[in-house]
Structure 1
Amino acid sequence: MTDFSLIETLRWQPDEGFIRLPLHLARLSRSARRIGFPEPMEVVAKLEDAVRDDKEPRRVRLIFDGQGRIDITTAPFTPLPQVTVWKLRIASTRLDSTDKLLRIKTTCRAVYEAARAEFTPQQADEIILLNERQDVCEGTITSVFLDDGSGILRTPPISCGLLAGVLRTDLICQRKARVGRITLDDLENGMLYVGNSLRGLIRATLQKD
C-alpha cells in the first residue's frame, strides 16, 4: 500500500469552467496507471458538484488515493495582475533526476518544502530547484520557462527530474514552448518565467543578493 496520494490543483472560472480540464484529467489518469492506482471514476461530476453554488473564481484541489477515493476542496482564488513579477532564488536542496516519482504530482512534498523553507516569503516568491548535475528543473509549485530570444519558450525536459506540469504541457502542445536543457548560466541570458495551471505564466527575476 502506498503512503501517498495524487494531487490535481485546478482553477475554476464562473464564465469558463475548469481551466485546462482535459489535460488535468489526462494527467491524473496517466499517473494512476503508472503507480498502480485504480482508474479515477466520475471525476468531472464530482468536480462540478464541488463548485455548483460558486459565483467567483475558485482554487480547486483534488486528492486521489490508492483506494480510489476522491477528496475535493475549494477556496477563493484571486488571479495575479498581469504586471506581476515574482522574485526567484535558487535552493541548495537538490532533486534526484533518477527519482521517477518527481514526474508525478503527489502528496510527497518533503523536498519542495525543504527548498521553500530556505527563504522567507519576503526574500522570494518562488524557489527554483536544480538536480545533481546542476540542471535547472522546476520551482516548488511551478514549471520554469526561459525566453532565450528564439521566439518560443524553453522548458527543462522531464528527464532532468521534474513534474510534467499541466501549463507546461499546454504550452508545448500549442508550440509556444519547447523542451530543452536550462543551466544557471542560461538564466543570465534570457527572460525568465514560471507558471502553473492555476496561476498561468508569471514573469520572474532571479535574485542574487
Structure 2
Amino acid sequence: MSVVIWSDGRLYSPDEAVVTGVDHGLTVGDGVFETCAVYGGTAFALSRHLQRLRRSALGIGLAEPDLHAVREGVRAVLAAAGPDTGRLRITLTGGVGPLGSNRLPPEDQHQSLLVLAGPAVPSPVSRVVRVPWVRNERSAVAGLKTTSYAENVVAVAEAYRRGADEAVLANTVGELCEGTASNVFLERAGELVTPPLSSGCLAGITRELLLEWAAQEGLPVREAAPGELRYEVLDEVADGSAQLMMSGSIRNVSPVVSLDGAEVTAGPVSLEAQRLFQKRLADDLDP
C-alpha cells in the first residue's frame, strides 16, 4: 500500500512536493515527531502521543503546536488510507528558516505540519545487538522525540547488518538506556525493570502504559533507581540468568529472543507483560 500524506489542509501523494528546501526541519533537523500504531483505522493512544508532541516541541523551543490541526490531519489520512494501514506519523518542524541553526524570529515563523499514514509490519519478538555508541543523558534534547535522528539511523543500520532489528545503547556514564526506537526492560528475580528517565531515555508511551497497567494488574514491573541498571547487565542476558524485553509504538511489548546473534530465552514475566498489553490495548484504543 502507499503512504498518504496530509499538510496544510490537503492530501498529497508520496511523489508530490510538500515542504520547501529551506524548511528548518530539513536543513538542521529542527523538528519533533510522533509515531502511533493504527488498529482498525484508529490511531492508538493518540491523546498521549499529542501530549508528548507538545512537550517535545516546547522542549526544543518551538511555538505551541496546533493540536486541533494535528487531529484534523489524522482524521484525513486515516479516512483516505487503506484497511492495511498500521502506522501514523506526525511531524512538526520550525518551517522556513535560515540555512544555519538559528531560527527566524517568532513572529516570522510558520511551522510545517505533516501527518502520514502507511504500512507497518510489527513482530511479536525482538532481536537486538549491543553497539559502541551512547546516549547523552545531559543533551539539550535528552528525552525529547526530535527529528534529529541520524545517530539512530547509524545504530539501527548496524543492527540490521548483524541480523537484528534493534540496537541497545548505554548512556555516557555506563547505564543501560534504551534502543534506537524503543525502551528496554530487564527481567530478573521475577520482575521487569526499566531504566529511569534520568538515564536519558525517551518517555515511551508503551513504556508508560505498561507501567500503569502492570501496577493495576499486580504484575511486577517497575522503573529502576538511578544507577541500578548498568550496561553490563546485558551480560546476564547473554548467559541466561536474565531476560530482555523491548517496548515501542509499533513493536508494542516484545520479548527479546536474540542478543548479539545468539539465541536467548524470553522471560515469563515478559511474556505475561506482552499478553497484558495486548489485552488492555483491545479494551481501549485511546487510554
| Distance verdict in 2 for CA 1:30–1:119, change over 3 Å | closer
1:51 alignment partner in structure 2:
78
What TM-score results when the alignment is normalised by the length of structure 1?
Answer: 0.87
Q: Which has the larger share of helix?
A: 2
2:93 alignment partner in structure 1:
65
- After superposition, residues 1-209 of structure 1 pair within 5 angstroms as 3=28, 4-14=30-40, 17-41=42-66, 42=68, 43-53=70-80, 54-66=82-94, 67-80=110-123, 84-151=124-191, 153-174=192-213, 175=215, 177-180=221-224, 181-187=228-234, 188=236, 189-204=241-256, 205-207=258-260
Map Cα deviations across residues 27-75 of structure 1 (whole Å, 9 max, x no partner). Answer: 0111222222122212212111111033233211110112332101221
Flag as ranges the 4+ runs of structure 1 deviating above 4 A.
none
Unaligned segments of structure 1, at least 5 residues: none
Alpha carbons 1:93, 1:114 under 8 Å: kept: no
One-letter code of the match for 1:161?
G
Distance 1:44 1:154 in 2: 34
- Name the Cα RMSD after superposition: 2.2
Unaligned segments of structure 2, at least 5 residues: 1-23, 95-109, 263-287
Alpha carbons 1:57, 1:78 under 8 Å: kept: no
Offset of 1:122 from its aligned partner? 4.7
Distance 2:72 2:45 in 1: 16
Distance 1:113 1:77 in 2: 18
- For the residue of structure 2 that corresponds to 1:103, the secondary structure is coil
- Work out the percentage of aligned pairs sharing the same amino acid: 28
Point out the more displaced range, 87-96 or 180-189.
180-189
One-letter code of the match for 2:73?
K
Offset of 1:21 from its aligned partner? 1.1
Offset of 1:103 from its aligned partner? 0.7
Larger radius of gyration: 2
What TM-score results when the alignment is normalised by the length of structure 2?
Answer: 0.65
Q: Which has the larger share of strand?
A: 1
Map Cα deviations across residues 175-198 of structure 1 (whole Å, 9 max, x no partner). Answer: 363211422343313221112012
* Number of residue-to-residue matches in the alignment: 204
- For the residue of structure 2 that corresponds to 1:45, the secondary structure is helix
